[in-house]
Structure 1
Amino acid sequence: MKRAWLIAALFGAAGAGPAAAQETAAPARFAWFDYRGEDGGPPSAGQYRNPILAGYYPDPSIVRVGRDYYLVNSTFAWFPGIPIWHSRDLVTWRQIGNAIDRQDQLDFAGITMSSGVFAPAISYHAGRFYIANTCVRCGGNFVITATDPAGPWSRPAWLPSVEGIDPSLFFDDNGQAWLVNNREPAGGSRYDGHRAIWIEEFDPKALAVKGNPKMIVDGGADPAARPIWIEGPHLIKRNGAYYLIAAEGGTSVNHSQVVFRADRIDGPYTPAPADVNPILTQRDLPPGRPDPVSAAGHADLVELPDGRWQAVFLATRPYAEDYYNIGRETWLLPAAWEGGWPRILPHGATAPRIVTRPLPAAGEAPPQTGSLTAHDEFDGSALPLNWMTMRGAKVTVAGGELRLSPGDRLGASGKPAFAARRQQHIVATAETELRAPPAPNSSAGLAALQNDDYFLTIAAVARDGRLFIRAARRAGPKEPEAGVTLAERAIAATGPIRFRISARAGRYDLAYALNGHWTTLAGDVDGTNLSTATAGGFVGTMIGPFAERN
């Protein structure tokens, strides 16, 4: 559930963050990175596997331009932020850019990893792409634009008068533009989680609202039931009627999607009947069911050229109770219109994993779901598009290697030298090679991290003129910034050192290799510290190389 402190702090200034000390140690040099994930065999011809974007890809928003589909996700305080995806079949997605890829756009310094950019909404009108978004604790609501969805995207046009979160833009048939978002209800909240949806006319040339906000939904689909956290609104138009879809119930197991309808853009909006709403949820399924899908909601709808509709939404795959480490993922299902209302799933139905393709397969791209392998050689001049750093930390890719200058510790709430990609599978393995032992009084290795306070590491540690391999775990802010040592072993090495982290649901193995011989330093480690249920927040586990000062 989104906490009240996030709403209260939307427009607060970002903290200064810890000051970085002068760094003189030689950088740690990583030669390559391998990722492998297991999720069953490939689906049959004409079918696809959910989720379509596995791992930490929440809050999807989608737009169609001709035969092309574009999709964006939340990234919070990870940088670069807001991945831009392209597809022509809604199943095969290629990342073509990041909307937030320059430090002059947003500053994430001093904020928590689950602050930052929330629920981006992408739209298109008259040759221009728009993303409406909120930077929580780093500026508030804003709009950015681009003529090419791959970028570059503009610096934010801030909307200082727009309180709340989750703005999205709608362009009517006459070109008139409107902004809808989650705000405090008129007269104030009557209970914890009581929010409202407001609409306001928007000037797409000036990138500013016109100052005529109107509340169109108070609380949710059934106000008498005191619904919570109505958010993520999107407007669509069909057969002359306006439909407002929104998430409701919080981001955990009670998540859902509801729909309202109006004859006028500014309402009044009537909720769908109780036998229709919610149009998507998994909260009505029994606990303890096998292979559960949970927390389904935050949907967006898109019309295909032939008049059919599809829905993208987020959901989770817990491995036990409500424990999941890989975050909220992007799913795809048909949206059927029945009796004038859209329906994504009938009440009591499980979100299916294997589904018939909505369109013929078109194009190829690196797989983002199912069993897969990925190998990064760091042979360019920048990180791959799907890699990120914490709050925009500086890293270097050059000479066919990733170079990380030891700096802030992972647990110091700063900008550590840590570059990572998402853990996308419940069963997964990540490996990397450090080309030489780290500089004196520094550490370098591999981390699986949920946020500053919750992570696992295996690293080479240069200390007191000796070299050690150390496995560590951090499970809360009261533990040391470098984590609690699980095991440590002195080694003699002058050449490459390999590191491996293997995940099996909530258990992890931490291993290293010298001269090709693997040793498990810490096996069967409790990895539930990487779960959202333990660590809190809205992100997912990221895995990658790091370097830090001892």
Structure 2
Amino acid sequence: MNDQLVSQTIRYSNPILPGFYPDPSIVRAGEYFYLICSSFEYFPGVPIFQSRDLIHWEQIGHVLNQPNQLDLTDRKSSDGIYAPSLRYFEGIFYMITTDVGGIGNFYVTAAAPAGPWSEPIHVPYGGIDPSLFFDDDGKVYVSAQQGADYDSHVIQYEINIATGEALSEPQVVWRGDGGPWTEGPHLYKINGMYYMMSASGGTAKEHREIVGRSDNPYGPFERYPEPILTHRGLDHPIQYLGHADLVEDVNGNWWSVFLGVRLTENGYSVLGRETFLAPVIWKDEWPHIDNNEGCVKLEMSVARLPAAAPQAPGTAAGEGRDDFAADHLGPEWIFVRNPPDGSYSLDEAPGSLTLRGQAAGLGDVGQIAFAGKRQQHTLASFITCMSFAPTAEGEEAGLCARRDEDAHYEIGVLRSGDRNRVMARLTIRGESRIVYEAETEAERLLLKIEATENEYTLSYSEDDENWSSIAAGPARALSPEDFVNKMCFTGVVIGLYATGNGHPSGVPARFDWFEYQAKQQ
């Protein structure tokens, strides 16, 4: 905890992972840092990144990339994988998480962060957000959230790390600061003292990170009287801060990763909860990050030793054109739930992504043909070249901006009334309307969705030069803040899709390329 090791000023931009990358957890193994995030209903689950300098991150895969590790076929949106925690001990990586609506709490292991990762090992107790702690005496503890709302608290118990078997009965060890939703607990041992850190207040404007300390892993924990991280009292471009994890760099400096939201002036963000980075300052053996001080900024300037030799900045993984020339999709591509067998292919028509429509569509909780990337910029355009000539009623394919079943905008081609039609559909708060349709004989189209702070515009071109703008929908309707019946924990994903709208599609849709163009803010 030596913050006197200061030699130069580091400048970097927040968020370090823009777009829907919430609930970060981090470890260091040697000279590299590794970071994971929640993935909810998307497959593969738990994206994993590596970095040498904490600022520039490269995705190296997903932790849960096999159906036997993660079966999401019947998960509702914003269920599935919650708040994973990543730990490293004696050469082994451990990822523990909750499959909400599925198998509950479990962990997997790997000798290398890129995998392969083991099959799930179940643990018996806890609601959501489990975390592992390896003590000096060889004991391994699970800390997990239990209860709901103002009754939410943290339980803890010892396990056999080889089997997941509980070696002790769970004990209540932490009740937070009196606010609702004490969750995301992490137990640390730093300079001989145990620290219990958790979020409180729910993941909106009252979100905050709190901490307690004890000389015993089961407490009682003396709680620091104020949050160590929050912007709940500030008029600030970054809000909802919390759900933090700590890591020490090679120079003895401490850092924290945590979620936050960049709200628009109108109080929403289609990007969802993103991952931010800030230094940790220790005062009187307590960690401090930012309690309504405003020191977590979009542009950071930190006077301390670098974590490691800085990496060269690169283009965000989602940006640029994907020509589908490889034999696999890049790690930034994700599916809604597990993709059905045969629903996508890069081999069927080399140089393109082939999607075969399933009976389920974008408004259904089921397995659908959808492959997408997270939207990482408020101002951006997304373009694809699609070849599709449907022959059966209801066959459809196109380009979609998706939040969940209740909120999505798409532009594509639909077979309706023995005709093929270019159409635009807006689904807002669960109600879908086709707002434009026109007959077309074109079997090849360019489709485009343009995003601004206030709206999404849907356009198409039949000749690659002249564009027809056919629909627009409010951006707020795709934000997590605009949920109706069920809270939404995800940001917008831009995807290519196909569906038979009630029956499997007999005609595939082929996408020659997909282009993500970020624009200046």
Give the alignment's TM-score, normalised by structure 2: 0.88
- Contact 2:409–2:473 (Cα < 8 Å) also in 1: no
% of aligned pairs identical?
36
Which of 264, 271, 296 is matched with 1:351 structurally?
296
Secondary structure (helix, strand or coil) at the match of 2:251 reads coil
Question: Which moves more between the two structures, 434-443 or 80-89?
Answer: 434-443
The residue that corresponds to 2:257 in the other structure is: 312
Render the CA deviation track for 1:524-544: whole Å, top value 9, x for unaligned. Answer: 422322011113310111001
Secondary structure (helix, strand or coil) at the match of 2:203 reads coil
- Contact 2:250–2:307 (Cα < 8 Å) also in 1: no
Distance 1:386 1:354 in 2: 25
Task: Say whether 1:403 aligns with 2:354.
Answer: yes
The residue that corresponds to 2:475 in the other structure is: 527
Letter in 2 for 1:232: G
Distance 1:200 1:330 in 2: 29
Letter in 1 for 2:125: V
The residue that corresponds to 2:268 in the other structure is: 323
Distance 1:193 1:391 in 2: 32
Task: Say whether 1:374 aligns with 2:307.
Answer: no
The residue that corresponds to 1:98 in the other structure is: 62
Letter in 1 for 2:333: W
Question: Which moves more between the two structures, 373-382 or 245-254?
Answer: 373-382
Secondary structure (helix, strand or coil) at the match of 2:481 reads helix
The residue that corresponds to 1:248 in the other structure is: 200
Which of 221, 234, 241 is matched with 1:285 structurally?
234
Task: Say whether 1:517 aligns with 2:465.
Answer: yes
> What are the within-5 Å matches in structure 2 for residues 452-463 of structure 1?
452-463=405-416
The residue that corresponds to 1:135 in the other structure is: 99
- Contact 1:293–1:350 (Cα < 8 Å) also in 2: no
Distance 2:151 2:355 in 1: 45
Task: Say whether 1:208 aligns with 2:181.
Answer: no
Displacement after TM superposition at 1:73 (Å): 0.3
- Contact 2:64–2:70 (Cα < 8 Å) also in 1: yes
Displacement after TM superposition at 1:356 (Å): 3.2
Question: Which moves more between the two structures, 338-347 or 356-365?
Answer: 356-365
Which of 403, 419, 422 is matched with 1:450 structurally?
403
Task: Say whether 1:391 aligns with 2:344.
Answer: no
Render the CA deviation track for 1:438-468: whole Å, top value 9, x for unaligned. Answer: 4443111100000012100000123333222
The residue that corresponds to 1:36 in the other structure is: none
Distance 2:187 2:275 in 1: 20
Render the CA deviation track for 1:310-335: whole Å, top value 9, x for unaligned. Answer: 00000001113431111100000001
Secondary structure (helix, strand or coil) at the match of 2:467 reads strand
Residues 460, 365 of structure 1: CA spacing in aligned structure 2 closer, same or farther, 3 A cutoff? Answer: farther
> What are the within-5 Å matches in structure 2 for residues 94-133 of structure 1?
94-133=58-97
- Contact 1:121–1:133 (Cα < 8 Å) also in 2: yes
Displacement after TM superposition at 1:248 (Å): 0.5
Distance 2:232 2:466 in 1: 44
Distance 1:368 1:253 in 2: 28
- Contact 2:31–2:308 (Cα < 8 Å) also in 1: no
Distance 1:351 1:520 in 2: 42
* Aligned residues: CA RMSD: 1.8
Distance 2:332 2:319 in 1: 14
Distance 2:16 2:391 in 1: 42
Render the CA deviation track for 1:94-135: whole Å, top value 9, x for unaligned. Answer: 111111111111211222110001000000111111011111
Residues 269, 110 of structure 1: CA spacing in aligned structure 2 closer, same or farther, 3 A cutoff? Answer: same
Distance 1:147 1:157 in 2: 16
The residue that corresponds to 1:542 in the other structure is: 493
- Contact 2:238–2:263 (Cα < 8 Å) also in 1: yes
Displacement after TM superposition at 1:46 (Å): 4.5
Question: Which moves more between the two structures, 58-67 or 439-448?
Answer: 439-448
Letter in 1 for 2:163: A
Displacement after TM superposition at 1:519 (Å): 2.4
Distance 2:419 2:490 in 1: 37
Distance 1:242 1:392 in 2: 40
Question: Which moves more between the two structures, 513-522 or 500-509?
Answer: 513-522
The residue that corresponds to 1:474 in the other structure is: 427
The residue that corresponds to 2:154 in the other structure is: 197
Instruction: Identify unmatched segments of 5+ residues in structure 2.
Output: 1-8, 502-521
Distance 1:202 1:518 in 2: 63
The residue that corresponds to 1:41 in the other structure is: none
- Contact 1:248–1:256 (Cα < 8 Å) also in 2: yes
The residue that corresponds to 1:16 in the other structure is: none
Displacement after TM superposition at 1:523 (Å): 4.5
Render the CA deviation track for 1:385-428: whole Å, top value 9, x for unaligned. Answer: 11111111232222121111011211021111110000111111
Residues 509, 518 of structure 1: CA spacing in aligned structure 2 closer, same or farther, 3 A cutoff? Answer: farther
Distance 1:158 1:446 in 2: 38
- Contact 1:282–1:294 (Cα < 8 Å) also in 2: yes
- Contact 2:251–2:307 (Cα < 8 Å) also in 1: no
Secondary structure (helix, strand or coil) at the match of 2:363 reads helix
Distance 2:246 2:146 in 1: 22
Residues 253, 68 of structure 1: CA spacing in aligned structure 2 closer, same or farther, 3 A cutoff? Answer: same
- Contact 2:388–2:397 (Cα < 8 Å) also in 1: no
- Contact 1:449–1:530 (Cα < 8 Å) also in 2: yes
Letter in 2 for 1:356: S
- Contact 1:58–1:314 (Cα < 8 Å) also in 2: yes
Secondary structure (helix, strand or coil) at the match of 1:228 reads coil
- Contact 1:511–1:518 (Cα < 8 Å) also in 2: no
> What are the within-5 Å matches in structure 2 for residues 139-154 of structure 1?
139-154=103-118
Distance 1:534 1:436 in 2: 33
Secondary structure (helix, strand or coil) at the match of 1:193 reads helix
Displacement after TM superposition at 1:64 (Å): 0.5
- Contact 2:231–2:291 (Cα < 8 Å) also in 1: no
Give the alignment's TM-score, normalised by structure 1: 0.84
The residue that corresponds to 1:484 in the other structure is: 433
The residue that corresponds to 2:183 in the other structure is: 231
Displacement after TM superposition at 1:515 (Å): 1.3
Q: How many residues align?
A: 480
Letter in 1 for 2:481: A
- Contact 2:80–2:100 (Cα < 8 Å) also in 1: yes
Distance 1:489 1:517 in 2: 19
Question: Which moves more between the two structures, 67-76 or 337-346?
Answer: 337-346
Question: Which moves more between the two structures, 319-328 or 133-142?
Answer: 319-328
